[in-house]
């Protein structure tokens, strides 16, 4: 066996062979099953794109109708899931709530038949159908309200906005939200997808696969960056303060949220589309107070860090779009998860097709052949007041 060089973060190391999506980070190209993201954003819908990703080809009209019907039929949650959510603290992060709920689905649909195509189909439908309902339900319950039941006459995107805001969305808002879902549906082997694949490779159930991916997406270096972008724009506060902010970040070598990408060394093609969508929304519903700051920030960062390939990523403009759609900031990442579930499930299915459990190796850097020291012979450690450590508050 060849001994490979250690690459932190597995940068550049292929973890699988996949036919789901393709990225060219130098040219700013993203394709799902060979179709450019720009075409899908313009002509497709999220559910049709999810079908394409998971089943490998665009559906026929009958297949799409059947898929949409199944998803509509499974949108409702079991009352026990809703009861479980009622016990969650209102101050808890919605990503944690979503992770718990996704895992809990495994309790209700516990039969595991990974070699049965009907089981795979049911799991795909259930997860895609129920994740938006769970996200919207948690949002209403933490405000002390009853969750809103899904409406069968509304599209996937319109129904989510309806359940969230308790009123039917404007058709342009619903269409733009649907495009956002399409843009976030898949992106090769990123951290959360890799997490999904590792979990899938143990042949556990798909609910555990999605729960593991949700937990991974939550981090600020991954899906959580879209929230951080809004806090950052808020903190900058005005166009005049943008350049001093960038200078300071560069001097302190701190990360500017919504910029940079492991793969893209040019502007992320999804950021370009999202920026246009944001502008369409501003034209119809009014400008966002942070947009001018965002434009100046893009300009300043490109000038300062463009030589390192640091440009806006997908998270930079998505938050501005979501704000205009009435989505609270801490739901941005759960919304990302609603979309990315399609990609995770596509990779789950692909992984099952040619599975080998993930078991990488490591380079050991610790000591060897140490002697065991009994507890009574080890030094006592006291805090600065000479007290023994206090237990954590329960
Ligand atoms: N702000 C400032 N400098 C940056 C940024 C940034 N956002 N991103 C990269 N750089 C710099 C690095 O400091 C490094 O400089 P150096 O060579 O002088 O040390 C250089 O660009 C290369 O960066 P890497 O650390 O090699 O990039 P890596 O591929 O490890 O990181 C990541 C990618 C994690 C996305 C990074 O760009 C980052 O932290 N961005 C901010 C968080 C963010 O927006 N995450 C969302 C990513 S998209 C997604 O997950 C959906």
Tens digit of pLDDT for each residue in 139-178? 999 999 999 999 999 999 999 999 999 999 999 999 999 9
Comparing CA positions, the residue from 203, 195, 167 lying closest to residue 344 is 195
Res. 284: pLDDT tops 60: yes
Note if 115 is an active site residue: no
**pLDDT value, residue 394:** 66
Q: Which of 353, 350, 343, 354 is nearest to 51 (CA)?
A: 343
Task: Answer whether 7 contacts ligand 1 (Cβ < 6 A).
Answer: no
Decide if pLDDT at 386 tops 80.
no
Helix axes 269-285, 314-324, angle to 10 degrees: 20
Q: Which residues of 113-147 are buried (b: 16+ CB within 10 A; e: fewer)?
A: ebeeeebbebbbbbbbbbbbbbbbbbbbbbeeeeb
Q: What is the mean pLDDT of the chain?
A: 95
Q: From atom 3 of ligand 1, which residue's Cα is the shortest distance away?
A: 255
Q: How many other β-carbons are positioned within 10 Å of the β-carbon of residue 66? A: 13
The protein residue whose alpha carbon is closest to atom 18 in ligand 1 is 308
Q: What domains are defined for the chain? A: 27-224+328-353 (1.10.580.10), 241-322 (1.10.230.10)
Catalytic residue among 261, 268, 288, 347, which? 261
More confident residue, 299 or 391: 299
How far is the C-alpha of 164 from the C-alpha of 147, rounded, in Å? 9
Give yes or no for residue 255 CB within 6 A of ligand 1: yes
Ligand 1, residue 262: give the atom nearest the CA. 29
How many CA atoms lie less than 13 Å away from 304 in the CB half-sphere?
A: 22
pLDDT the model gives residue 321 = 96
Percent of the chain with pLDDT over 70: 98
**Beta-ladder partners of 23:** 30
Is the C-beta atom of 305 inside 6 A of ligand 1? Answer: yes
Q: Dmax of the chain from CA atoms?
A: 74
**Helix 61-73 vs helix 46-55: crossing angle, to nearest 10:** 110
Name the 3-class secondary structure at 156: helix
Q: Looking at ligand 1, which residue's alpha carbon is closest to its atom 38?
A: 260
Q: Looking at the DSSP assignment, which residues form a beta bridge with residue 21?
A: 32
Enter the pTM of the model.
0.93
Confidence of residue 239 (pLDDT cuts 50, 70, 90): very high
CA 51, CA 48: separation in Å to the nearest integer? 5
**pLDDT over 80 at 123, yes or no:** yes
221 CB near ligand 1 (under 6 Å): yes
> What percent of the chain is predicted at pLDDT more than 90?
91
Q: How many angstroms is it from 129 CA to the middle of ligand 1?
A: 34
């Amino acid at each position: 066996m060849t001994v490979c060089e250690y690459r932190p973060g597995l940068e550049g190391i292929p973890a699988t062979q996949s036919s789901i999506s393709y990225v060219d980070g130098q040219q700013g190209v993203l394709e799902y099953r060979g179709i450019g993201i720009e075409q899908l954003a313009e002509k497709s819908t999220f559910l049709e794109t999810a079908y394409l990703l998971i089943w490998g080809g665009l559906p026929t009209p009958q297949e799409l109708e059947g898929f949409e019907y199944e998803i509509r039929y499974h949108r409702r949650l079991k009352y026990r899931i809703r009861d479980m959510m009622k016990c969650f603290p209102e101050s808890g992060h919605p990503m944690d709530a979503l992770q718990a709920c996704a895992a809990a689905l495994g309790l209700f649909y516990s039969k595991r038949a990974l070699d049965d195509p009907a089981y795979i189909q049911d799991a795909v439908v259930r997860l895609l159908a129920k994740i938006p309902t769970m996200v919207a339900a948690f949002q209403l319950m933490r405000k002390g309200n009853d969750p809103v039941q899904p409406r069968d006459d509304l599209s996937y995107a319109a129904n989510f906005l309806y359940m969230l805001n308790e009123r039917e969305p404007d058709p342009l808002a619903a269409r733009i939200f649907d495009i956002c879902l399409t843009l976030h549906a898949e992106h090769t082997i990123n951290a959360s997808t890799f997490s999904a694949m590792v979990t899938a490779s143990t042949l556990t159930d798909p609910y555990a696969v999605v729960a593991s991916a949700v937990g991974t997406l939550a981090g600020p270096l991954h899906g959580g960056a879209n929230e951080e972008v809004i806090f950052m724009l808020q903190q900058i506060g005005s166009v005049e303060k943008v350049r001093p902010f960038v200078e300071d970040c560069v001097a302190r070598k701190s990360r500017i949220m919504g910029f940079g990408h492991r793969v893209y060394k040019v502007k992320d093609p999804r950021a370009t589309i999202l920026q246009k969508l944001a502008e369409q929304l501003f034209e119809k519903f009014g400008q966002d107070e942070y947009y001018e700051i965002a434009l100046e920030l893009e300009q300043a960062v490109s000038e300062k860090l463009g030589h390192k390939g640091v440009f806006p990523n997908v998270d930079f403009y998505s938050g501005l779009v979501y704000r205009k759609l009435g989505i609270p900031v801490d739901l941005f990442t759960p919304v990302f998860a609603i979309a990315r579930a399609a990609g995770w499930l596509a990779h789950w299915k692909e992984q099952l097709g040619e599975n080998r459990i993930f078991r990488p190796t490591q380079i050991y850097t610790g000591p060897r052949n140490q002697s065991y020291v009994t507890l009574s012979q080890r030094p006592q450690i006291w805090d600065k007041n000479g007290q023994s450590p206090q237990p954590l508050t329960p």
